[in-house]
Structures are given as C-alpha cells and as structure tokens.
Amino acid sequence: MSLPLNPVLEGMRTYPFVRLANARRALEAEGVDVIDFGIGEPREPTPPFIREALAAAITPQSPYPLAEGLPELRAAIAAWTDRRFGVALDPATQVVPTLGSKELIFHLAQVVGPGSVAVTVPGYPVAERGALFAGRRVVELPLTAQRAFLPDLDALPDDLALLWLNYPNNPTAATADLEFYERAAFLARERGFVVASDEAYSELAFTDELPSSALQITDLTNVLVVNTLSKRSSMPGYRSGFAAGDAHLIAALKRYRPNVGVAPQEFVQRAAVAAWEDEEHVVALRDVYRTKRDVLLPALLACGLRPAGGDATFFLWLALPAGWTSSEAFALALLDEGVVVAPGAYFGPAGEGYIRVALVQTLEACRRAAERLSAWVVPPPV
C-alpha cells in the first residue's frame, strides 16, 4: 500500500518552471550553450554595500528572529514607502518583514476569513496553490489585452474572502492606476473581503514614470501590500520582503507567523535596512534592464513576435507570430536554437498565444541571444 499524501499535493501538476529547468538541463548535458530567459530570477550582482552590511551583521550568537521583525527594518520600510509613494505608515502596526514575498502569498489564505480566493490569470501560480492548500475555492479572473490586462471587478464572486492583484504584473508587465486600486478597495470594504496587492516589480520600469502602489489609496482598510527586495535590489537569495497596510491585517499576520517559522534571519534584516535606505543602486539597475531590452527586443520582433504587454517589470510579454497558436510549441522551436523563453500557457490557459521573456541574463548574453535570433529562420507553425 502506498503512503497516502495530501490530495491537494497529489493532484497538483509539476510546478511549470521546474519543467522548464529540466528541459534546459537536458540541453546543457548535450553540450548546448543555453541562454535562459525563462525563469524570472535576477542575475545581476547584489550591490557590494548590501553584502557588506550582511557580513557585518553576522555575530557569534544567532538567536531566533522575532516574527514582527527588527524595529530598525520596520522603520526603514516605512521611511521608504514615504519617500517612494508619499505614504506615512506606522512601522509598529502597519509593517511586518517577510521571508521574501512568496511565503506570504502562499500563507495569506490561511489567515483571512472563510470564502473563496480570486486570482488573476495568467499569473504567478503561488497564490492559487496557497489557496488550494488552505482548502479554499479558487476563482480565476482572466487578464486580456482588451481590458489592458486588468481583471473585471464586476465578476468577483459573492463569497469572496481574498482578491489577489499583481501589478506591475507577472507575466504581462501591465500596470494598474490608482483609480483601479481605489475601486478594488471600495468593494473590499463594502463586501468584507481582503485586497492583497503583490508589488514585487514596483521599482522596475522601462519608462521614466514609475508604477503606482495600492498603498497610495485614501483608505487602507482591508488592503495589504506585499513587496520584496528580490527584484528591486537583486537579492533573490536573501529572501527579504514585507507586508504593509491595514493594521488589523498586520496584527493577524503577527499572530499567525510564529506558528510557521517564517521570520527572516536577523543578519538578513540588517542587510535589508541598508537596501531600503538606498535608491542609487535601484536607478542603476533600471538602466541595466532598459539596455537589455533595447538589445534583445528588436531581434524578437524580427522573428514575428509582437509586443502585447506593458512597460514595467523586467519581462517582455509578446504575442506569437501570425499562424502560431501554441506557445509551448513555439518555445520548443526556439529551444532548438539554445534560447529559452517561458510559454504563456505555463501561466494558465489565458496565457496561451504569448511568450514571456525575462531579461535576467547578462548584457553580453542578451547580445549573443540577439545574434542567434537574427539568424533564426522561424519554422512554419505546428
């Protein structure tokens, strides 16, 4: 008799990015020089001053970190939200550090009241998976080009407990304005659900105008914003982020989090203080991603791909060339050239017909990929 497992786990498909990584490794084992734009993991070096702050914070003793985080980090986050968005948060009651953003996104469905969880598709799969493990019904809200990749707020279910938003959006790179956030928050107050806004890419844009935040709305009741240093400061391995907003929700998280052991290590928190207090490295990082796009995008367009998404994040969301209908088939054809992209279908059925290109490789690798794409004869659709 086989060992029984959680039926949610048994019924879950392989995490799509694992499949992509396996395909890349198989090619590399054959000696192929693979340039991977599929996984959205920043590869730019973490700035030296952040690494130095981390090293300086390592002490002989290593106590368990407190779930509410260091006061210095909460204060640094509140100071950053004030500088960046003009929002004055109480660091004692409206901010809690997190172990990156993924753990918070996964766990939030276990904290909020009963009811369904709405997620946008195509989208980051962790919000849906966290809801399923929490025993919640998941409602998908399609993102389409016709609606500027914003969900239809009139389609929210009656039993809604939690609405997940993600702008700047992964994978479409679309942004949301304050009017949209205000309407979502109004509905949340009126109907008694939580709006959770995943803003991991808030500091990355290809234009001079930076994206808005749900923190900027007039009333943060029932609103929670999640952000992270992974993208802003090239710190994915540090696992350092925060949740901020409604003090009632922050208090609930402080009660919940000691039970699951997700408090960030103290030395990482002290490195995070240094990161949130500095903007120069973020400005420089934006310029790096803009340069990469300028190198790679013309070669992608020459293959018949068409721009379809927004101008934020470090992603390019591109519609397939005319005649192509399968994003996975197109990605496999491109894989033969040693270039990996993420099929839009990996982000859910609504992503079919698109590919996502993550500009995470070095500038030199982007140039090599552009040369390959320029020489590639796109095969007929399959």
| 108 neighbors 130 (Cβ within 8 angstroms) | yes
Closest residue by Cα to residue 172 from 129, 211, 116: 211
Cβ neighbourhood burial of 96 (10 Å; 0-12, 13-18, 19+): buried
Q: Using pLDDT thresholds of 50, 70 and 90, give the confidence band for residue 1.
A: low
pLDDT of residue 25: 83
Are the C-beta atoms of 193 and 200 separated by less than 8 Å?
no
The mean pLDDT of 270-294, rounded to a whole number, is 98
Distance CA 118, CA 322 (A): 32
Strands 160-166 and 116-121: parallel
For 8-66, the pLDDT digits (tens) are 988 877 766 676 777 778 888 888 889 999 988 999 999 999 999 999 999 998 888 98
Q: What pTM did the predictor assign?
A: 0.94
> What is the pLDDT, as a whole number, of residue 17?
66
pLDDT at 265: 94
Q: Which domains are assigned to the chain?
A: 7-45+281-375 (3.90.1150.10), 60-278 (3.40.640.10)
Residue 164 neighbours by CB under 8 Å, 6+ apart = 105, 117, 118, 119, 120, 123, 127, 196, 198
Q: Quick check: 161 and 117 in contact, CB under 8 A?
A: yes
Q: What percent of the chain has pLDDT over 90?
A: 86
CB 215 within 8 A of CB 244: yes
For residue 179, the model assigns a pLDDT of 98
CA 146 to chain centre: 23
Strand positions, DSSP E, 247-381: 306-307, 315-319, 339-340, 342-343, 354-358
Examine the pLDDT at 248 and tell me if it is beyond 70: yes
- Which stretch of DSSP H or E encloses residue 118? strand 116-121
Q: What is the pLDDT of residues 178-198, one digit of tens each?
A: 999 999 999 999 999 999 999
Task: Return the biggest CA–CA distance within the chain.
Answer: 62
User: Confidence class of residue 278 from pLDDT cuts 50, 70 and 90?
Assistant: very high
Give dist(CA 164, CA 171) in Å, integer: 15
Q: How far is CA 216 from CA 75, 77, 159, in A?
A: 18, 15, 27
pLDDT of residue 23: 77
Q: Is the pLDDT of residue 146 over 90?
A: yes
Look at the block and give the residue holding tokens 């500088």.
83
Task: Report the mean per-residue pLDDT for the chain.
Answer: 95
Residue 49, classified by CB atoms within 10 Å of its CB into exposed (0-12), middle (13-18) or buried (19+), is middle
Q: For residues 147 and 141, what is the distance between their CA atoms, to the nearest angstrom?
A: 12
The alpha carbon of 26 is separated from its chain's Cα centroid by a whole number of angstroms, namely 27
| Residue 244, pLDDT above cutoff 80 | yes
Tokens of 308: 């379809």
Q: Give kind and range of the element (H or E) at residue 232.
A: helix 229-232
Give the separation between CA 337 and CA 302, rounded to whole angstroms: 15
Output the pLDDT for position 15: 66
Exposed, middle or buried by CB within 10 Å (0-12, 13-18, 19+), for 64?
A: exposed
Cα-based angle 28, 32, 36 (whole degrees, multiple of 5): 70
What pLDDT sits at residue 16? 67
